[in-house]
Each structure stands twice: as C-alpha cells, then as structure tokens.
Amino acid sequence: MEKLTGRHYMISALKRRHADRVPTTVLIGPYCSRLGGYSVREILKDARKSAEAHLAFHRRFHPDSVIVYNDIYLEVEALGCELEFPEDNISHPRSPLLKDQSQLAGLKVPDPKKDGRLPYFLELCERVSAGVGKEAAVGLGNSGPWNLAMHLRGAEQLLVECITDPGFVHELMEFTTEVVRTVGDAVIEVGFLPSLGEAFASCSLISPEIYRDFIKPCHRDLCEYFRAKGAPMTIHICGYIDPIMEHLIDTGINFISIDAPSSLKKMVDLSDSRLTIMGNVPTTLFATGTREEMEEAIRGCVETAAEGSGYILSSGCEIPLNSTEERVEHFFTYAHDFGREFMSRLMEKEETV
C-alpha cells in the first residue's frame, strides 16, 4: 500500500474524502525561527534563513502542510509604510501611512516583483516549496483588504470613519482590494493559491454590520476574481466570528481557517458540507497548556468536525513564539493517534450501516 504523504491528507480534506487519519497541521508563525537558530528579525528579512527555519520545523514535526509565515505588514510596507523590526519579536508600523484622507490619491498599487519585501516573500514561498517537495502541502497568507485598510489608516480612525465618512472607507477598500488582487496574481504566478488573513475582521473588534457593509462585498469580489483564474481563495480570521459566519459563507469561499474563540460546531452546521474548515485548537496550549488540556482540545475538534471529512485539525492561529517543542510534538503525536482511531471507528460504523 502506498504511504500517504501530508499532501495526500490535505487533498483528502479538500475533496471531502476519508483518509486513515485526520489531516493535521499548525500555523507555524515566528516560532520556526527558534528551530532555525535565527532571530525573528532575520527570518523577516532574509528568504534563505526563513526557508531554513520553516524546513527545520517540517523535518522536526512533519506537519501535513507547511504554512509559510510572514508578518502582516508586507503589503503596507511596499506601499511606503515604515516598519520597526525588533530583534526577537514581530515587526510593526511606526505610524499609519495615511495620516490624512487626501493621501490616498497618491498611493499606487505596489509591484510584487520589485517593491518592499514582496519579492522576498515570493522567493521564500518558492524555497519552502522546493525544500518540502511532495511530502507536504505548502500554504501561505497575505493581508486581506480590511487588514490593509486598518494598517494604512489606523484601527480607531477607520472605525470612526465607518460612521462619519463611509464613502471614504469604501474608496479605501476599493484600493486595498486592488492591492490584494495584484499580490494574489503574483502568488498564483509562482504556483500558490491566494489566502487572506483578516485579523481585524474579528467580531472582537468590529460589528457584523461593518463586515456586511464594508468587507463582505470585497471578499465576494475577490472570491469571484480568483475563482475565474482557477485559484479558489481561502480566509483566516482571528478571534470571534460567530456573528458573521453566514456572511462569510455567502462570499463563496470554500476554505476557512477559524480561531479557538469561534464555535467550530456552528461553522460545521452552517456550512453544511460546503466548506473545508481548518483550525480551532487554542494557541495558548502550545506554550502553557497541559498534555491533558491539549488532548481534550484535539478530541473536541475532531469529534465535532471530522466526520464529514472536510476538516483539517490545526491551531486556531499562529502558535506563540514561546511554544515548547514538547507541546508541539505532543500535539502532532496525539493528533495522529486519535485521528487514526476516530477514522477507524467512523469507517467501521459506516460498514455496518
């Protein structure tokens, strides 16, 4: 019998087919720098060092997919935003680029092959893909239009303008959506699928009405745009998204990554087998959780979502920088063991029906 690779397991979830265990991965985040022996600053600036760190993680834990890490400011940096790069922490903007609304007219969509660190990121993705080969799937993430708008204008100011000046917000979102299209086209050109990170679209920060009125139309347009290119788009939103789950499904996405504060059961029920769903294991468990807490979380996710086979077990968001090797290893070991046990029971049940 042919040995299944991580790529096979991921494809099984995308096609909603049973495999001998549940597909399992994590959002690696900056933690991979630890395994590569580099600082976070080094992996955010050097594609070779970052690829080495990602591949070190892959060799150590053998996830079914390697989800390439980058900071969430690549695109706004390419637009002209100045970033600070601490030695051993994630980067952050010095200040919002659009201090005045009138500055929007002067912004130009960046060239992914020339501007900022976008070329670094495309090189990184190609290096990781070449290093992983056919052993695992390779995924990535870029900022969605709402994230970009927040980074450009500042969260507090943009939220106020959703009430006081919605016309400007729509204009800004049209621009950031064009940026996402352009970066997505470059991602597709080097052999990957566009995947949007929208941390600021969490209902921990915005209302369902803001998502419906300002963000959903852009997500729907992007889904249609990339689908026409044969590249279905995926979305990851941090935090709590229960109030906007129906809106998200209505955009036409076919893959969503959800964080631990959101209800996995609600997403499974609402999606009605139309989506591949990934995530929901609390990220804190990788840094401070007990073995029992990790095992309980894994069982809960698998038993809630894996029966329809369109589920990928994963951390709800990026695992913390202070995650421990022992906890990450236990996640994969227990997930594989329980994932096989669950699928075995499921297949026995189906054979008796």
pLDDT (tens digit, 9 = 90+) per residue, 254-265? Answer: 999 999 999 999
How far apart, in whole angstroms, are the C-alpha atoms of residue 195 and residue 14? 14
How far apart, in whole angstroms, are the C-alpha atoms of residue 159 and residue 156? 5
User: What per-residue confidence (pLDDT) applies to 3?
Assistant: 80
Which tokens sit at 323? Answer: 């995650």
Sign of CA pseudo-dihedral 258, 261, 267, 270: negative
Segment 170-222, tens digit of pLDDT:
999 999 999 999 999 999 999 999 999 999 999 999 999 999 999 999 999 99
Q: Determine how many CB atoms are found less than 10 A away from the CB of residue 320.
A: 17
User: What per-residue confidence (pLDDT) applies to 353?
Assistant: 55
Segment 213-256, tens digit of pLDDT:
999 999 999 999 999 999 999 999 999 999 999 999 999 999 99
Q: What percent of the chain has pLDDT over 90?
A: 93
- For helices 325-352 and 291-305, give the axis angle rounded to 10 degrees: 30
Q: Domains plus CATH for the chain?
A: 6-352 (3.20.20.210)
CB-based burial, 136-162: b 16+ in 10 Å, e otherwise:
bbbbbbbbbbbbbbbbbbbeeebbebb
Question: Rounded mean pLDDT of the chain?
Answer: 95
- State yes or no: pLDDT of 309 exceeds 90: no
What global pTM score does this model have?
0.96
DSSP class of 319: P
Segment 89-115, tens digit of pLDDT:
989 999 999 999 999 999 999 999 999
User: What per-residue confidence (pLDDT) applies to 1?
Assistant: 47
